[in-house]
Structure 1
Amino acid sequence: MVLALDPVPPIGGHPLATFFVQIGVLLLLATLLGRLAVRLKLPAIVGELLTGIVLGPSLLGPTLPQLSGWLFPKAAEQAHLLDAFGQIGVVLLVAVTGLQLDTRLVRRRAATAARVSLPGFLIPLALGIGAGCLLPATLLMKGSDRTVFAAFLGITMCVSAIPVIAKTLMDLGLLHRNVGQLILISGTVDDVLGWVGLSVVTAMATTGLHAAGLALTVGCLLLFVAAALLIGRPLVRRVMRSTVKSGEPGLTLSASVVVVVLFSATTHALGFEAVFGALVAGILIRGGGKDVLTRLAPLRTFVMAVLAPVFFATAGLRMDLTALSDPTVLGTAVVLLLIAIAGKFAGAFIGAWSSGLSRWEAVALGAGMNARGVVEVVVAMVGLRLGVLSTAMYTVVVLIAVVTSLMGPPILRGAMGRLEVTADEQLRRAELDSTLGGDGREPVEQAPA
Structure 2
Amino acid sequence: MPKQRGLWPFVFYIIVLLASVAALWGTLRLGGGLAESSTPQLAATSGARAFDDFTASVQHHLQSTIGLLLIQILVILMAARMMGWIFRKLRQPAVIGEIVAGILLGPSLFGRLAPEAFTTIFPSESLPNVQLLSNFGLILFMFVVGMELRLSDIRRQLKGSLIISHSGIFLPFVLSLPLSYTIYTEYAASYTGFVPFALFIGIAMSITAFPVLARIIQENNLLRTHLGKLSLSTAAAGDITAWLMLAAIIAISGSGSLLSTGYNLLFLIVYLLLMFGLIRPLFRAAGKVYNNTEVISHGMVGVIFILLLLSSIITELLSMHALFGAFMLGLVMPEDLSFRKIITDKVEDVALLLFLPLFFVSSGLQTELGLIDSPEMWILLGLFTLVAVVGKVGGTYIAARACGESPKNSIYLGAFMNTRGLMELVVLGIGYEMRILPPAIYAVLVLMTVITTVMTMPMVHFINWVNKILERRHDRIEQLDKASGLKVLLSFGRPSSGVTLLRLTDQLLRRGEVHPHVTALHITTDQDINSIDADKYFADSFGPILAEAEQLAQPIETSYQISDKVESTILTKLVQERYNLLIVGAGVRFSSEADDQEAVSMREEMRRRVGAFSVHTTEALLSIHGMLRDKMQFFIDRAPCSVGILVSRCFETPREIVLYLARQEDLRMLPYARTMAQNNGTQLQLVVSEQLQHEGLTLHEGERIVSQQLQTLPEGCELAIISGELWQDTFERNKALLASLPSTLILNIK
TM superposition score category, shorter chain reference: 0.7 to 0.9
Q: Which structure 2 residues correspond to residues 21-170 of structure 1 after superposition, within 5 A?
A: 21-75=71-125, 78-140=126-188, 142-170=190-218
Q: What is aligned with 2:360?
A: 312
Alignment correspondent of 2:260: 213
Cα 1:178–1:414 shift into 2, 3 Å: farther
Q: What TM-score does the superposition give when structure 1 sets the normalisation length?
A: 0.87
Q: AA paired with 1:435?
A: A
Whether 1:403 aligns to 2:507 is: no
Name 2:608's counterpart in structure 1.
none
Distance in 2 between the 1:439 and 1:190 partners?
26
Offset of residue 230 of structure 1: 0.6
Q: Structure 1's 416 and 174: CA in aligned 2 closer, same or farther, altered over 3 A?
A: farther
Q: Distance in 2 between matches of 1:151 and 1:179?
A: 31
CA-CA distance at 1:320 after TM superposition:
1.0
Paired with 2:105 and 2:368, the residues of 1 have a C-alpha distance of 11
Which AA in structure 1 matches 2:108? S
Say whether the 8 Å CA contact 1:140–1:390 is kept in structure 2.
yes
Residue 409 of structure 1 deviates from its aligned partner by 2.0
TM-score (norm 2): 0.54
Structure 1 residues without counterparts, runs of 5 or longer: 1-11
> Which stretch shifts more, 342-351 or 233-242?
233-242
**Distance across 1 between alignment mates of 2:290 and 2:241:** 31
Alignment of 1:186-201 (within 5 A): 186-201=234-249
Conserved 8 A contact 2:88-2:94: yes
Q: Of 361, 366, 383, which aligns to 2:409?
A: 361
Aligned to 1:204: 252
Deviation by residue 1:80-128 (Cα, 9 ceiling, x = unmatched) = 2111100011111111111111211111100011121111111011112
Flag the 1:179–1:277 CA change in 2: closer, same or farther, 3 A: same
State the 1:285 CA deviation: 1.9
* Counterpart residue type for residue 160 of structure 2: T
Native 8 Å contact 1:286 1:293 kept in 2: no
Q: Deviations for 1:50-69, whole angstroms, at most 9, x for unmatched residues?
A: 22222211012223222222
Give 1:377's aligned amino acid: L
What secondary structure sits across from 2:64 in the alignment?
helix
User: Quick one: which of 415, 418, 435 aligns to 2:539?
Assistant: 435
* Inter-CA distance 250–316: structure 2 relative to 1 (3 Å threshold): farther
Alpha-carbon separation, structure 2, partners of 1:233 and 1:110: 20
**How far has the Cα of 1:251 moved from its partner?**
4.5
1:214-239 deviations in Å (ceiling 9; x for gaps): 33333222222111101121234456
Residues 150 and 335 in structure 2, CA contact (< 8 A), matched pair in contact too: no
Aligned to 1:378: 426
Distance in 2 (CA, whole Å) between partners of 1:297 and 1:357 is 36
| Equivalent residues of 1:95, 1:281 under 8 A apart | yes
Distance 1:255 1:220, change over 3 A: same
C-alpha separation in 2, matches of 1:14 and 1:49 = 28
**Cα offset, 1:151, TM superposition:** 0.6
Larger Rg: 2
In the superposition, relative to structure 1, how do residues 238 and 356 fare at CA in structure 2: closer, same or farther (>3 Å)? Answer: closer
Q: Residue 102 of structure 2 contacts residue 357 of structure 2 at CA under 8 Å; is this kept in 1?
A: no
Q: 2:273 aligns with which of 223, 226, 229?
A: 226
Figure out how many residues of one structure are paired with residues of the other and give that number.
432
- Report the CA distance between 1:249 and its aligned residue: 5.1
1:11-43: CA deviations, max 9, x gaps? Answer: x97233222221221122112211221122122
2:437 equivalent to 1:389:
yes
What does residue 290 of structure 1 align with?
338
Contact 1:344-1:370 within 8 A present in 2 as well: yes
Larger CA deviation: 227-236 vs 115-124: 227-236
Query: What is the Cα deviation at residue 326 of structure 1?
Result: 2.6
Q: Is this contact kept in 2: 1:169–1:175, CA < 8 A?
A: yes
Secondary structure of the structure 2 residue equivalent to 1:117? helix
Contact 2:141 2:352 in 1 (8 A): yes
Q: CA deviation at 1:192?
A: 0.8
Q: Distance in 1 between matches of 2:538 and 2:341?
A: 18
The range that moved more, 26-35 or 344-353, is: 26-35
Aligned-partner Cα distance in 1 for 2:307–2:451:
34
The one-letter amino acid of 1:176's match is R
- Cα deviation 1:223-268 (Å, max 9, x = unaligned): 2211110112123445666778795554454443333222111111
Q: 1:31 to 1:38 in 2, by over 3 A?
A: same
Q: What RMSD, in angstroms, separates the aligned Cα atoms of the two structures?
A: 3.0
Q: Is the 8 A contact 1:124 1:340 kept in 2?
A: yes
Greater Cα offset, 15-24 or 173-182? 15-24
CA–CA distance in structure 2, aligned partners of residues 204 and 88 of structure 1: 24
> Aligned equivalents of 2:177 and 2:407: distance in 1?
29
Higher RCO (C-alpha 8 Å, min separation 6): 1
Residue in 2 that maps onto 1:5: none
Instruction: Name the SS of the counterpart of 1:57 in structure 2.
Output: coil
Q: CA deviation at 1:389?
A: 0.9
Matched residue type, 2:263: L
Relative to structure 1, the CA distance from residue 51 to residue 387 in structure 2 (aligned partners, 3 Å threshold; closer, same or farther) is same
Alpha-carbon distance in structure 1 between the residues aligned to 2:345 and 2:260? 41
1:237-252 maps to which residues of 2 (within 5 A)?
237-238=284-285, 250-252=298-300
CA deviation after TM superposition for structure 1 residue 170, in Å: 0.5
Residue 372 of structure 2 aligns to a residue in which SS? helix
Contact kept? 2:95, 2:212, Cα under 8 Å: no
Higher helix share: 1
Greater fraction strand: 2
Which amino acid is the alignment partner of residue 106 of structure 2?
G
Measure, in 1, the Cα distance between the counterparts of 2:365 and 2:163.
38
CA distance in 2, matches of 1:135, 1:151: 14
